[in-house]
Amino acid sequence: MRLFKDSGNVLSKQIPLMDVMMLLAESQSNPIHVCGLMLFEKPKGRRGLVREIVEAYRAARPTPPFDGVPELSGTHTPRWLPANDYDPRHHVQHIALPAGARYEDLLYLAGDLHETMLDRDRPLFRVWVIDQVPGGRFALFVKMHHAIVDGVSAARRVNASLRTTRHKGVPKPLFAVDVPVRKPRPPKAMIKRLLGVSTTATSQYMALLGSLRKGVWNRIGLSTQGSVPFAAHRGPMNEPVLNARTVATLSLPLPAMRRVGKHYGATLNDVAMTVIDAGVHRYLAEQDQPFEHRLVAMCPVSLRETDDASGGTKVSAVFVRMGAPGAPVAERLVEVAESMNEAKEDIRAMSRETALGYAAGMMAIAGLGSVTHADRVTRPSANLVISNIPGWDRQLYLNGAPLTGVYPVSAIAAGVGLNATVISCNGSMDFGFVGNGASLHNLPALAVHVEQAWRELVRVTP
């Protein structure tokens, strides 16, 4: 065990509102952390490769924000404090699948590792190095609390922890890399940005009230256009979340997805959302739980600057009405693209600070509904979460082993028991699915339906 005697890593500092909300809303049955499953191909003749990675990771010292613990009680404002101690064997685990294991066994293991909360008395991350993955591979499964990273910052740390060559050697792990951290703006400058001139302040205030009003209207059964929270009909994805998770992965060809999107005047993200939308409907029908309404997806929107990989969560969200239940896949793509464009207009009307406040407000409403069980009788905020994380377009390596897949296994939101997160990785779009294991069984079947929807979209595209 190595002590953190100095306070030079994580200084006592205030926890931002969004991150406080995540820490307060967390429960044993609904932990709020993000995970990632990374697959690597073992080079021939490197029997000690995995052990070298484990030893290097255990020797690494965590850097902010991976070296602190939250302090939420007492008279102080919620703050991050330096961790009193650090046990590298707890935070970096070395395990292996049994002989004869299948890839599905790795997914079952990922679901089990995802279920449990991180210990609040230790730095809020863990890494499992998993050997003997079928196909001559090994894997990394990383768990990090959402209060210290979001999808974009996590991806940037992964990128910084790998190399672009096959050379031997283990770079610093993602919890110990040095990444750009933007200095916070002075309080006065922030106040000026929040207030601005009177007309700007008024417009931002009205934009926020307008978005919150939409949520209230839909709570009482009214409807509106654009980004609309609490407009979703209840489905199996909105059953109470219990302490069980199911996980699936999928990879699709990135150039082909871009070509299809271009033909329909849609974005790459629209294509990914469309095949997920179609796949979910087909999956539910196969499970004898057909959903006869349009799905509503909550889509996180990153508010990070290009060079910002600092800790915490810097996202807002839009709520997107997906395609009609029985729509052909090409028609569904057009509907999804139109809905996404409408939803984006609402978030564009807000400043960065207002958008962050809006996301925190939505989380507070959803969390309150979960605690009071009001969410069991009112409309849910959404049916699923779909997130798109910018990735990289080059081959990366860890100790000479090529990275062959990156699958985000993100958090489940309050009352929304299905998350699909995608990331672009060296010519592929990698999909990670995580669901409430109490109501969504066999998510690998969902991944199959999403792939079938993609193949159908390719067939009907000239």
Task: Note whether 336 and 274 are within 8 A (CB).
Answer: yes
Show the tokens assigned to 253.
């060809």
Could you tell me the CA-to-CA distances from 107 to 127, 154, 409 in Å, in that order? 16, 21, 10
For the chain, the farthest-separated pair of C-alpha atoms sits apart, in whole angstroms, at 68
Q: Hey, what amino acid is at 86?
A: Y
Rounded Cα distance between 201 and 195, Å, is 5
Strands 2-3 and 85-86: antiparallel
Phi, psi of 242 (to 5 degrees): -110, 175
Q: Hey, what amino acid is at 299?
A: C
Task: Note whether 161 and 173 are within 8 A (CB).
Answer: yes
The model carries a pTM of 0.85
Question: CA 258: distance to chain centroid?
Answer: 22
Query: Tokens 């096959």 correspond to what residue?
Result: 166
Rounded Cα distance between 161 and 40, Å, is 14
Q: What is the pLDDT along the chain (462 residues), one digit of tens a residue?
A: 333 334 344 446 889 888 888 898 888 888 999 999 999 999 998 989 999 999 999 999 999 999 999 998 766 789 999 998 899 999 999 999 999 999 999 999 999 999 999 999 999 999 999 999 999 999 999 999 999 998 889 999 999 999 999 999 999 999 999 876 655 444 434 333 333 333 343 333 334 444 444 544 444 444 456 667 778 999 999 998 888 999 999 999 999 999 999 999 999 999 999 999 999 999 999 999 999 999 999 998 766 666 656 666 666 688 999 999 999 999 999 999 999 998 877 666 565 565 555 555 555 555 555 555 555 556 788 999 999 999 999 999 999 999 999 999 999 887 899 999 999 999 999 999 999 999 998 999 999 999 999 999 999 999
Strands 397-398 and 401-409: antiparallel
Show the tokens assigned to 225.
């256009």
**What are the chain's domains?**
2-160 (3.30.559.10), 187-460 (3.30.559.30)
